[in-house]
């Protein structure tokens, strides 16, 4: 690992930190240290980083803004690649938008709405990055990334970069091919937007923001929806129906505001959150015979 780190520093790929607490990089404010934390300063340096990772056979994990992530207490083995500054360029050509994987989805939707372009209204309250949103086909309010994405520029484990079309991304509910078959990092995405009425777009976005503010506990550290909706049921409604809202283990608590959110109510550990997740799964299956599947991504040493 020392030789690998020295090579990274020689190439000046970006920010490099050892034993970096992942609690600093997740919206839940939970997570042990990453052996190595790398924030590439450009797409080119992302490629150089992956080439060295492949050469030295280092385990790796990619993250964005850490909004749909639970990092375990023992931290993460190998390298964590964060897409952030340097991976957040934007290029708008008419109604076609090309944007870096590290760009904030909330910031992007706000900027685009002010230009009178429609398509990203659903994302106005999703606190993740473009890369993370494409990776998991993030969505809300009846729409998702698959509705607007034309193609995505993916860096794969073998060091090759390839543009995948919407069809090749194999999108389904909160899922893409990157989770199912071909692990990779979303370096860039191209979205097809539509011209619209600026006031109507802004109004729709504000409505979405207000809804999230009124129904979801973003005043606490949390990771967004914990479970996928077991359609036709909704996870939050099942949790509420089971009387589990407010139930806590350690510093983790099922939100009083929304049953599908677990909040860090005070110095929570990942083990507290995992125990709550299991308690919800067991209770819902026992009461309703419904198997709950997690939407939040759980990573790290077990």
pLDDT of residue 180 exceeding 80? no
Structural domains in the chain, CATH included, are: 2-82 (3.30.43.10), 90-214 (3.30.465.10), 217-299 (3.90.78.10)
The reported pLDDT for the residue numbered 56 is 95
Instruction: Please compute Rg for the chain using Cα positions.
Output: 19
Q: What is the pLDDT of residues 189-239, one digit of tens each?
A: 999 999 999 999 989 988 888 888 888 898 899 999 999 999 999 999 999
In the structure encoding, which two tokens stand for residue 150, read together? 């034309």
In the predicted model, what is the mean pLDDT of residues 71-85?
96
**Is 202 one of the catalytic residues?**
no
Name the pTM for this structure.
0.90
Determine the longest span between alpha carbons in the chain, in angstroms. 58
158 pLDDT tier (thresholds 50, 70, 90): confident
**Is 225 one of the catalytic residues?**
yes
Q: What angle do CA 268, 272, 277 make, to 5 degrees?
A: 125
In the predicted model, what is the mean pLDDT of residues 20-44?
96
Q: What is the pLDDT of residues 244-293, one digit of tens each?
A: 999 999 999 999 999 999 999 999 999 999 999 999 999 999 999 999 99
The reported pLDDT for the residue numbered 140 is 85
The reported pLDDT for the residue numbered 201 is 93
78 pLDDT tier (thresholds 50, 70, 90): very high
In the predicted model, what is the mean pLDDT of residues 121-140?
90
Catalytic residue among 20, 39, 188, 295: 295
Catalytic residue among 174, 176, 188, 255: 174
**Is 295 one of the catalytic residues?**
yes
């Amino acid at each position: 690992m020392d030789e690998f780190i020295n090579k990274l520093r020689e190439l000046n790929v970006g920010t490099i930190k050892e034993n970096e607490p992942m609690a600093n990089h997740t919206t839940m404010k939970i997570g042990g240290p990453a052996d190595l934390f790398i924030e590439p300063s450009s797409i080119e340096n992302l490629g150089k980083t992956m080439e060295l990772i492949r050469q030295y056979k280092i385990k790796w994990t990619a993250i964005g803004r850490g909004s749909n992530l639970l990092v375990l207490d023992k931290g993460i083995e190998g390298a964590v690649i964060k897409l952030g500054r340097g991976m957040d360029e934007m290029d708008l050509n008419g109604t076609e938008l090309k944007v870096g994987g590290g760009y904030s989805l909330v910031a992007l939707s706000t900027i685009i709405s002010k230009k009178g372009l429609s398509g990203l209204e659903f994302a106005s309250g999703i606190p993740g990055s473009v890369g993370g949103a494409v990776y998991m086909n993030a969505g809300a309010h009846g729409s998702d990334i698959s509705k607007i994405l034309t193609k995505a520029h993916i860096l794969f484990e073998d060091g090759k970069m390839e543009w995948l079309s919407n069809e090749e991304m194999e999108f389904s509910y909160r899922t893409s091919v990157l989770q199912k078959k071909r692990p990779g990092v979303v370096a860039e995405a191209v979205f097809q937007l539509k011209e619209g009425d600026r006031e109507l777009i802004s109004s729709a976005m504000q409505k979405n923001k207000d809804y999230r503010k009124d129904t979801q506990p973003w005043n606490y550290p949390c990771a967004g929806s914990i479970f996928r909706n077991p359609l036709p049921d909704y996870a939050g409604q099942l949790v509420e129906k089971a009387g589990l809202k407010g139930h806590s283990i350690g510093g983790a608590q099922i939100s009083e505001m929304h049953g599908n959110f677990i909040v860090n109510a005070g110095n929570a550990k990942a083990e507290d959150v995992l125990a709550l997740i299991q308690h919800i799964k067991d209770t819902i299956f026992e009461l309703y015979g419904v198997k709950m599947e997690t939407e939040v991504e759980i990573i790290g040493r077990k």
